[in-house]
């Protein structure tokens, strides 16, 4: 079965929202490492949706991070503070998932949920334009 670019964008938006809801549940359960992972991926999926709509093909996490900064932060389409949050989540997720004895604490992750919600909202608005 063949999917259109519009289908891909819609799928990634859905995936971002679903993953954000998962992150909220993990925050409520005080599962900080897993919440960091899900918050990062919620952001990643929405940034991926934006890239797909622009027909920018990116295949790696580092590539998404780089193009996010280039296409959205440097152009002023997304607030700089949200770029900082996305980059911070990228690092937190890397540490939580791949570094031994590295754990995310509540103080570090709790404020990120509001930043991710703001990022998702701003990106979704851009995707509707």
CB 92 within 8 A of CB 129: no
What pTM was estimated for this model as a whole? 0.93
57 is written with which tokens? Answer: 């093909």
Dihedrals phi, psi of 11, to nearest 5 degrees: -65, -45
pLDDT in tens, 38-56: 999 999 999 999 999 999 9
C-alpha span between 12 and 18 (Å, rounded): 10
Q: How long a stretch of residues is the chain?
A: 129
pLDDT in tens, 75-108: 999 999 999 999 999 999 988 888 888 889 999 9
pLDDT of residue 99: 80
What is residue 15's three-state secondary structure? Answer: helix
C-alpha span between 101 and 74 (Å, rounded): 35
pLDDT of residue 29: 98
DSSP category for residue 54: T
126: buried, middle or exposed (CB in 10 Å: 19+, 13-18, 0-12)?
A: middle
- Cα distances from 81 to residues 2, 53, 88, 116, in angstroms, run 38, 23, 10, 11
Q: What is the largest CA-CA distance in the chain?
A: 45
- Domain-by-domain residue ranges, the chain? 5-128
Query: Which fold is adopted by the domain 5-128?
Result: 1.20.120
């Amino acid at each position: 079965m063949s999917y259109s670019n519009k289908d891909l964008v819609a799928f990634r938006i859905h995936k971002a929202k679903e993953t954000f809801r998962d992150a909220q549940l993990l925050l409520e359960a005080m599962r900080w490492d897993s919440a960091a992972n899900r918050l990062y991926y919620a952001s990643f999926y929405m940034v991926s949706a934006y890239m797909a709509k622009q027909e920018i093909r990116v295949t790696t996490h580092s590539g998404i991070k780089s193009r996010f900064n280039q296409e959205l932060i440097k152009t002023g389409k997304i607030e700089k503070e949200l770029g900082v949050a996305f980059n911070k989540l990228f690092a937190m997720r890397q540490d939580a998932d791949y570094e031994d004895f590295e754990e995310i604490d509540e103080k570090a992750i709790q404020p990120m949920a509001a930043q991710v919600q703001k990022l998702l909202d701003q990106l979704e608005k851009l995707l509707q334009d």
